[in-house]
A and B are shown apart, each in its own frame.
Chain A
């Protein structure tokens, strides 16, 4: 087991290293850098930077030297000192910018994930067991609508109705009066009052997708000979469903963790922007626009890390659930 985990850790590190190179190169691809952007901004204000100023700024921000040197500088800082660099835009260390938002992001993502599962699983199971029933058709139709409607559109619809009905725009995760308050019941209630909106907006597509995954898996499994065989030996229907096909249908469900986690983490970038959520999504968007390369690179690295860890978690869970995987690797 430990040997397995060790091997996986090495693979993970190698994967992340490869990702970091690709990410860095892609972020540096657009012509110009942050100093160019800064120059343009000063120019708008009527100030002109001398070539000496520009060179000085470049060397201060570590933007001199070629791409490889910049990359090596960046990655050694991360690996050796855990230093993600400075955010030009925010004039703060990247780690501070990210960590201030990471809590809210994780909170929204995990809450959304759990709610998504809690809703999707029973609906999917019902839909499969009662295939071709009215409930199944309803779930399938709503599911398709949910999948087909872009999240940002749902967000806009929400805003439209809340402005019309309540006269206010749901924005962020807390009301102004609570935002800086320390944690207490009032703040939690206020948070819950705000949380359900991004949860519905981000979760709809997730629920719709998962319902379809579970329904199709379960439909496959319900037709297997072992279901008939278990029925033939008198396993009561409810227990039969829970212990036999549902357990097998759980597998693909678990293996989605790896890619669902990062999607939730960026939230939906556009949705985050529209709803003004203090998540990583809007920051990533801003960083990419402003060529704030260290910030953008770091956020993408965090997402990659979460993806890799999510994959590991889902692999471990799969091994725990399915002896074929567990014992297959032991052999």
Chain B
């Protein structure tokens, strides 16, 4: 098994509202291994993005990280990101230095008033000691690397002059500027059309191979998961309900939620002329999470008198994959 690079443990992030604290992330454990891709998948509102933002402490008011640790193993000495001071140098170095991050809306994530080159050079100079001229050279190289045509001209272009795909490439270039060991991608292709999406995914895969980066990829698209992931974490209502290698997950989903998700993916040919299976119901409001297993009202296999009363146990299978479900409780330790 590869070295752990980032370990999230017991992470809880809540949002203060008038009706009480909404636990968006409710005890998440995740590990990203060096050089590997972890895909975090789940429906809207399950806490994927908040988890990703909590890593670099980007959660904004009224959100607050309430508990947990985020241990970074990328430096000589592992440290907990969440217990650093706000002005700790290690936090500044982590942000944009060791960890690059890209976002869902590339055009909105760039300041419209400054050229992409200016924003790129700013980040390069923040994290390296290149002078202005060298930083500009590096910026042009990076734009070339992420496949922006005519980087010499585009370096002075403003975000609104570029398409969404080009903006996302620019964002990736900014994320890569200090050779990070981890790239966090928060639904980077959701706002892009399908062809552009495929190109961006190709680009990310190439870059990962070339730079031996780890990638934490947040998505709700199982097709993307199948294409990119080494490991998958399935989230539901602020918790990781299943963790597995990508092949195991697709071949043999354990958690009823994962199964329902996989069934709802359309298959060419098979689904002709019939309704697409869906996960019944909607994600409940985290303020009023169901008692017991939070998925039980939507679960086909729910056991009355058990799932609606007790918190489901986290079952660890032999090969290290886990599922948070009572169905496997009796077979704990059995061959998956």
Contact A235 B126 (CB under 8 A): yes
Segment from A86-94, A166-174, A193-201, A316-324 that makes contact with B: A316-324
Contact B111 A244 (CB under 8 A): yes
Q: Mark A290-318, 1 if CB is under 8 A from B, else 0.
A: 00000000000000000000000000000
Segment from A20-28, A70-78, A175-183, A225-233 that makes contact with B: A225-233
Q: Which residues of B contact A243 (CB under 8 A)?
A: 111, 114, 122
Nearest residue, chain B, Cβ from A331: B161
Cα A233 to Cα B120 with chains together (Å): 10
Q: Mark B78-108, 1 if CB is under 8 A from A, else 0.
A: 0000000000000011111100110111001
Cα A228 to Cα B175 with chains together (Å): 13
Contact B113 A323 (CB under 8 A): yes
Cα A214 to Cα B67 with chains together (Å): 36
Nearest residue, chain B, Cβ from A228: B58
Q: Which residues of A contact B97 (CB under 8 A)?
A: 234
Q: Which residues of A contact B114 (CB under 8 A)?
A: 243
Cα A235 to Cα B109 with chains together (Å): 14
Is A81 an interface residue, CB under 8 A from the partner? no
Contact B113 A247 (CB under 8 A): yes
Name the contact of A228 in the complex, choosing from B53, B93, B115, B122 (C-beta under 8 A): B53
Contact A225 B105 (CB under 8 A): yes
Q: Which residues of B contact A229 (CB under 8 A)?
A: 101, 103, 109-110, 171
**Contact A233/B174 with A248-B113, A327-B161 known, Cβ cut-off 8 Å:** yes
The majority secondary structure among interface residues of chain A is helix
Name the contact of B108 in the complex, choosing from A226, A233, A321 (C-beta under 8 A): A226
B135 to chain A, nearest CB (A): 14
Most chain B beta-carbon neighbours within 10 Å: one of A224, A232, A233:
A233
Cα A27 to Cα B177 with chains together (Å): 66
Is A7 an interface residue, CB under 8 A from the partner? no
B101 to chain A, nearest CB (A): 4
Q: Which residues of A contact B126 (CB under 8 A)?
A: 233-236
Contact A248 B96 (CB under 8 A): no
Is A223 an interface residue, CB under 8 A from the partner? yes
Contact A232 B105 (CB under 8 A): no
Is B127 an interface residue, CB under 8 A from the partner? yes
Contact A321 B96 (CB under 8 A): no
Cα A247 to Cα B119 with chains together (Å): 14
Write the residues of chain A forming the contact surface with B, with a CB cutoff of 8 angstroms.
Answer: 223-226, 228-236, 243-244, 247-248, 321-324, 327
CB<8 Å pairs between A and B, sample of 20: A223-B60, A226-B109, A228-B103, A229-B109, A231-B95, A232-B56, A232-B58, A232-B95, A232-B101, A233-B123, A235-B123, A236-B126, A243-B111, A243-B122, A323-B158, A324-B112, A324-B113, A324-B158, A324-B160, A327-B158
List of 3 A-B pairs having minimum Cβ-Cβ separation, nearest first: A233-B96, A234-B96, A234-B95
